[in-house]
């Protein structure tokens, strides 16, 4: 798999800067081009709001006339790769969608902060929204992560729903970092025996030839709890999950496991839609 174009949404927070560091690292290894985008959204004045609210916001936005001006001084490794920048004045998720759809992106690398307010916990933050709609893989970099070294990749997957074609990027990462690959399922009973002679298992072992590959069953009533327990007990450096697309009301009333994990994850998370 070729990763020619990597999108990095920036809001110049600590977590987005860490995401940029990781994206630069991957771009250097894979000879990829980076697209660094920033979006600001100035809400229109409404009846009863007045200058007291609008003007301070406008003053803040004036400071972002050229948000990329100091990038190379802060991130000198940018000089080693090809990159471009784009500033939008729109809702950030709309800007990200535009970039993904119109610029042939192969991967999105974006940060997520360590704490979330009540509304974000209810319907998910920007990163989880992007995971929901993105047609390309999304690599989530938590606020505490500033470098990327995927020596142990943990893949959370249902043994009976594994599609080896979805593993192209994972294989590229494993080849790049010489990773050990662990596939684990969270369930109520041990399903490894059913998987032992399946076609998917044979294909995966061919796919990851040369890498240490293992399969694990985690018996846990709560999938999210089981995932975090597995990460901690097996020293996983990168978690991979396969989310499904959800409509807004589904996201509101039934959070996906991927979104729950993304809101709390302390290691990089790669979300790939099957």
Distance between CA 130 and CA 127 in Å, rounded?
5
Q: 13-27, 93-107, 235-249: which has the minimum mean pLDDT?
A: 235-249
Residues in the chain: 274
DSSP 157: -
Distance between CA 112 and CA 91 in Å, rounded?
17
pTM of this structure: 0.84
Phi-psi region of 59 (alpha: psi -120 to 50; beta: other; left: phi over 0): alpha
85, pLDDT greater than 60: yes
| E strand map for the chain | 5-10, 33-40, 82-89, 107-112, 138-142, 152-156, 180-187, 213-219, 238-241, 269-271
pLDDT tens by residue, 181-216: 999 988 776 666 667 667 778 888 898 999 999 999
Q: Are 242 and 157 in contact (CB under 8 A)?
A: yes
Sheet holding 238-241, edge to edge: 82-89, 33-40, 5-10, 107-112, 138-142, 269-271, 238-241, 152-156, 180-187, 213-219
Q: Is 5-142's fold the same as 152-271's?
A: yes
More confident residue, 167 or 103: 167
Strand-pair partners of 89: 40
Check if CATH label 3.40.50.620 holds for domain 152-271: yes
Q: What is the CA radius of gyration of the chain?
A: 20
**What are the domain boundaries of the chain?**
5-142, 152-271
pLDDT given at position 245 = 52
Q: 15-19, 86-90, 95-99, 113-117: which has the minimum mean pLDDT?
A: 113-117
CATH topology (fold) of 5-142? Rossmann fold (3.40.50)
pLDDT tens by residue, 123-151: 347 888 898 889 899 999 998 898 899 99
């Amino acid at each position: 798999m070729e990763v020619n174009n990597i999108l990095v949404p920036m809001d110049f927070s600590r977590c987005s800067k860490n995401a940029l560091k990781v994206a630069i690292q991957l771009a250097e290894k894979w000879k990829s081009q980076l697209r660094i985008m920033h979006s600001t959204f100035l809400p229109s004045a409404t009846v009863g709001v007045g200058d007291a609210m609008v003007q301070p916001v406008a003053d803040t936005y004036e400071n972002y006339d050229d948000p990329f001006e100091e990038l190379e001084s802060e991130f000198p490794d940018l000089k080693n790769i090809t990159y471009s920048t784009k500033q939008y004045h729109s809702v950030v998720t709309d800007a990200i969608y535009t970039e993904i759809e119109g610029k042939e992106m192969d991967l999105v690398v974006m940060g997520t902060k360590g704490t979330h307010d009540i509304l974000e916990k209810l319907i998910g933050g920007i990163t989880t929204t992007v995971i929901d709609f993105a047609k390309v893989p999304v690599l989530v970099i938590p606020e505490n992560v500033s470098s990327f070294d995927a020596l142990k990749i943990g893949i959370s997957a249902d043994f009976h729903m594994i599609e080896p074609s979805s593993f192209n990027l994972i294989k590229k990462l494993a080849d790049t970092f010489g990773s050990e690959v662990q596939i684990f399922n969270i369930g109520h009973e041990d399903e490894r025996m059913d998987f032992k002679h399946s076609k998917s298992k044979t294909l995966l072992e061919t796919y990851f030839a040369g890498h240490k590959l293992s399969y694990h069953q985690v018996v846990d009533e709560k999938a999210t709890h089981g995932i975090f327990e597995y990460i901690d007990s097996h020293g996983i450096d990168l978690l991979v999950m396969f989310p499904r697309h959800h409509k807004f009301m589904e996201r509101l009333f039934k959070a996906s496991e991927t979104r729950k994990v993304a809101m709390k994850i302390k290691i990089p998370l790669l979300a790939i839609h099957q």
